Amino acid sequence: MEKPDRDYTHARRAEDEYRQLIMQFPDSKLLPEAKQRLLEVQEVLAEREFRVGRFYYLRESYPAAIARLRSVVDRYPLYSQADEALYLLGQAYEGEIAMVRSRKGNEVAKARMIQEFTNGAAESYSRIVTRYPLMNRMEDAKARLEALHQPVPKPTKTAVAQNKAEEDSRRETGMFGKVMRNFQKHPDVAQATKVGDPTLVDPQMVSATEVVQKAANAMRGTSTPADNNAVSIETVGKGAPPANQAAPRSDTANPERPVDNSAAPPPAPDPNELKPNVAPDPNELKPNVADESGQALPPPQQVNELAPGANQAIPDAAKTGDGKTSDTASSANEPADDAAVSSSKRKKKKGLRKIVPF
């Protein structure tokens, strides 16, 4: 593990390993040592986050500073400079107040934003008074609360005793040790507390974007949800559970929507409607409609239907003057002779001429 201003990869991995040891093996004999090592690792990680937040504060990037400093005080409450981080957090909120007052715009919206930042600063200063009453920024926090016209809380005896035990367990590094630290790779963990329980689960952190969105919502007068990904839980009353309901069907009427049983009248025909100009089909089959006497009419005669006895009848046009039928009419009803068929083939062959190429 390197110093807070160096790569923190090993420090983060060490924190994860110590947390798993404490949570998975609560009866292990290594538990006290693992907790103390975890407090030292978290002291280094908290120092790193505090330095980043202070850098943003000096650059007047207040939303980023607020996000970083709130991460320090929420994730590592046993940090040796937690009071300094809270005081700097209040100063960042006051910096936002000064920037809002210097801008021109709607006075009502500006008043809402100022109130939002004032509440944040008062919360930070009040936390110093109630949680860290024996640390250096105690009196400064009280002065800032009075300047903001906010009530000054009083610390409890339990909070005073807890903070006293934490401060007494810390060790101070001498002058020679501080000089030698400049030539060493490992960080100085003498300020890490020896009492209290380390943080095993990280709380929900706040980003700079969320800080800006919260301020914008306060300017518009709308409330900001605490967590957009929160899961709501429905509480069911005691007693027997209700019976299962049948699955809804598409053909079932909706009880919430009234059903209109009145049949709608058919629409009147439009006289201007264009109709296709198509002649009726003579071959279309039509139903046998009864006549006035109630008897069904016979089906219409088909065009291609052969009537019975048609082959026996001889048309009058085929008869000659002496009452005899002509060859044409007789040949139509009698089979052809073999001699006639062969003579017709010879006539066709004589009609063909041989084509000689040039």
| Domain CATH number, residue 124 | 1.25.40.10
Q: Residue 293 falls within a domain, yes or no?
A: no
Q: Residue 14 falls within a domain, yes or no?
A: no
Q: Residue 9 falls within a domain, yes or no?
A: no
**CA-to-CA separations, 320 to 316, 328, 334, in angstroms, rounded:** 9, 11, 18
Instruction: Quote the radius of gyration of the chain (alpha carbons, Å).
Output: 52
Asked whether the predicted pLDDT for residue 226 surpasses 50, the reply is: no
**CA-to-CA separations, 79 to 72, 124, 191, in angstroms, rounded:** 8, 15, 9
**CA-to-CA separations, 199 to 22, 23, 121, 129, 292, in angstroms, rounded:** 11, 11, 25, 22, 104
Q: Residue 91 falls within a domain, yes or no?
A: yes
Distance of alpha carbon 44 from alpha carbon 6, whole angstroms? 11
pLDDT (average), residues 265-286: 60
Q: Residue 157 falls within a domain, yes or no?
A: yes
Q: Residue 87 falls within a domain, yes or no?
A: yes
Concatenated DSSP letters of 63-116: HHHHHHHHHHHHH-TT-TTHHHHHHHHHHHHHHHHHHHHHS-S-HHHHHHHHHH
Q: What are phi and psi of 202, to 5 degrees?
A: -70, 135
Share of the chain above pLDDT 70, in %: 62
Asked whether the predicted pLDDT for residue 347 surpasses 60, the reply is: no
Label residue 120 by pLDDT band (50, 70, 90): very high
Contact 2, 185 (CB under 8 A): yes
Q: Residue 69 falls within a domain, yes or no?
A: yes
Query: At residue 272, what is the residue type?
Result: N
Q: Which residue has the higher pLDDT, 329 or 105?
A: 105
Residue 74 CB coordination number (10 Å): 14
Q: Residue 142 falls within a domain, yes or no?
A: yes
pLDDT (average), residues 342-351: 54
**For the chain, what is the domain count?**
1
Q: Which residue has the higher pLDDT, 287 or 230?
A: 287
pLDDT of residue 295: 65
pLDDT of residue 331: 47
**CA-to-CA separations, 282 to 41, 297, 307, in angstroms, rounded:** 102, 17, 19
**CA-to-CA separations, 228 to 113, 271, 330, in angstroms, rounded:** 22, 61, 103
Instruction: Name the average pLDDT for the chain.
Output: 77
Closest listed residue to residue 128, CA positions, set 69, 53, 169: 69
Asked whether the predicted pLDDT for residue 103 surpasses 60, the reply is: yes
Q: Could you tell me the pTM of the whole model?
A: 0.61
pLDDT (average), residues 43-54: 95
What domain range includes position 159? 46-168+205-220
